Amino acid sequence: MTNPIRESPTGFAQQLFSGLPGRYDALGAILSLGQDRRWRRAMVDHVSAGNPASILDVATGPAGVALQLARRTNARITGIDLSLDMLARGATNVRRAGLDHRIQLVRGQGERLPFPDESFDAVSFTYLLRYVADPAATIAELGRVVRPGGTLASLEFAVPQRFWWRWLWHFYTRAILPLAGGLLGGRAWFDVGRFLGPNITDHYRRFTVEATLAAWRAAGFHDAQATPMSVGGGIVMWGHKTS
């Protein structure tokens, strides 16, 4: 039996989330039990600390992180996403925030960025690596466009390591999340809720946190670090490109 996420992870994700741009941030809040905003703030802390003049936000979705970066820095920000639906929603959000002059949204893939080497002072990416065929190669591609001394920072969902938290996380993602999604958003949310827990687990079986950090270091971010968030339900990583 074929596995569509393994065969074409980018295309599968694009199809899965195509009906959710207006509710994407709400979905993140539900899955994280309200912690997503705090997780994003922690990731943005690492980007803003370097006072960047230019930032690339990869998998920008409806531009939630891009907007936070604009409010926390003076940088010009480029958001990139493969989904036209997400970009359309992001453009609406940017326009409503009055930040059209600082945030540019473009279509493209994190695996093949349409930018020259060392184009940005910082790169952020959120909930990306589970939807690419080769996470290590994608990290290398993201690192390629960071200038020496610049920052790479990310946020991903994770699986708690302590037994009881991991058991509760499995119960929540397999039982509560699909039900809550279906009640709040109909079939599209039910499908996403049912997909996410097993997908997160499968990702870390194939590409552990240690392997992810090794890929960051191989990409030139030798000080790469990771901080588990909310007993391990999320993970923020960051590092600085070796000059």
For 215-241, what is each residue's pLDDT tens digit? 999 999 999 999 999 889 899 999 999
pLDDT of residue 48: 97
Task: List pLDDT tens digits, range 151-194.
Answer: 999 999 999 999 898 999 888 888 877 777 677 666 766 777 77
Mean per-residue pLDDT, 141-146: 98
Count Cβ neighbours within 10 Å for each residue of 224-240 and write b for 16 or more, e otherwise.
bebeebbbbbbbbbbbb
Q: Please count the other Cβ atoms lying within 10 Å of the Cβ belonging to residue 38.
A: 12
Averaged pLDDT of the chain: 88
CA-CA distance, 37 to 23, in Å (whole number)? 14
* Right CATH for 4-160+207-240 from 3.40.50.450, 3.40.50.1980, 3.40.50.150, 1.10.260.40: 3.40.50.150
Of residues 73 and 178, the one with the higher pLDDT is: 73
Q: What pLDDT, on the 0 to 100 scale, is given for residue 180?
A: 72
Q: What pLDDT sits at residue 3?
A: 45
